[in-house]
Amino acid sequence: MIENDVHARLLAAYDEQLRTDAEASGAINVAVHGPLLLVTFAGGNGFVTYRNLGGADVDAVRQLVTAAIEYYRADTAVTRVEWKTRGHDRTPGLPEALQENGFVPDPPESIMIGEAELLSRPVALPDGVTLRQMTDEADVLAMCAMQAEVFGDPTSDHIAGALLRRLSLDDGMELWVAEADGRIVSAGRLEPVQGTTFAGIWGGATRPEWRGRGIYRALTARRAQSALSMGKTFIHSDSTEFSRPILERSGLVKVSTTTPYRWVRQTPPGD
């Protein structure tokens, strides 16, 4: 019963604090359509968020999806859109409606939440490994290159550029890495959510040869310590099945699942 109460309390905090306005922070435009917020970020990124769909049935859900994609299609500056579904929502027919309208699902992830105090307990690092916060351009570029390598993605100056712009705004985001012999072996981001008691931990990546040695847990603990210094009491993250067990050992609880659906504008042949 106590475990169920904790789960319910954390999930309620997630729904109340981390959806709608919190997900639209930093947007260049937000349009309201029924229960939906149709958010547009710099760089041509659209994002659909909502607290719930107000008990919509299958037909009403399909109409919401159609209206959302028509809105973004009309804005030629938007090249990609994310609709982030949650496993605990009542949204009949939503996956089918999204795919009918050209959205493609990513693998499901676990929504993890925990008390920052529990996560903040120091974890011993292997000899020769140190943690450091990064702010310089060269460091950020090196961190992004490492993360791209670990995730199997192409190196993107766009991602590094976006992080550097965020750092210049001084909005609270922090970039942390673990290093050995001057080489980045693990990295992650801390995202305090304004107007809430939450901070998010994102972008966690550790080189394969350094895994299983407590480095990522130590990086999580250090970010939790920083979150506490900002007055944040909860940590949240969407995690893959690889990182979920690590976060559970650190004290986070799986409260639900999320499956992002992505739409990408198709460029006509010859353009």
Write down the pTM of the prediction.
0.83
Residue 128 Ramachandran class (φ > 0 left, ψ -120 to 50 alpha, else beta): left
Which amino acid type is present at position 108? P
Instruction: Tell me how many domains the chain contains.
Output: 2
Same domain, 22 and 147: no
- Selected residue with higher pLDDT from 1 and 264: 264
Same domain, 93 and 227: no
Same domain, 249 and 146: yes
The CATH number for 138's domain is 3.40.630.30
Mean of per-residue pLDDT scores for the chain: 92
Within-domain flag for 98 = yes
* pLDDT, mean of residues 15-35: 92
Write the CA distances from 234 to 1, 41, 85, 266, integer angstroms.
21, 26, 22, 39
pLDDT surpasses 70 at 10? yes
pLDDT surpasses 70 at 162? yes
* pLDDT, mean of residues 38-45: 91
Same domain, 89 and 126: no
Same domain, 203 and 84: no
* pLDDT, mean of residues 135-151: 93
Domain that holds residue 98: 18-109+259-264
Within-domain flag for 131 = yes
* pLDDT, mean of residues 222-247: 90
Same domain, 153 and 44: no
The answer to whether the CB of 205 falls within 8 A of the CB of 146 is yes
Q: What is the DSSP letter of 270?
A: T
- Which H helix or E strand runs over 266? none
Which amino acid type is present at position 229? S
The answer to whether the CB of 198 falls within 8 A of the CB of 15 is no
Residue 214 pLDDT level (bands cut at 50, 70, 90): very high
SS3 79: coil
- Which H helix or E strand runs over 243? none
Same domain, 124 and 215: yes
Q: Which residues pair with 116 in a beta bridge?
A: none
- What's the rounded Cα separation, in Å, for the pair 235 and 187? 17
Give the pLDDT of residue 268.
Answer: 63
Same domain, 152 and 243: yes
Q: What are phi and psi of 97, to 5 degrees?
A: -65, -40
Within-domain flag for 8 = no
Same domain, 253 and 121: yes
Same domain, 140 and 220: yes
Same domain, 121 and 250: yes
Write the CA distances from 11 to 8, 54, 158, 230, 250, integer angstroms.
5, 18, 33, 22, 18
Which amino acid type is present at position 215? I
Within-domain flag for 2 = no
* pLDDT, mean of residues 61-85: 97
pLDDT surpasses 70 at 27? yes
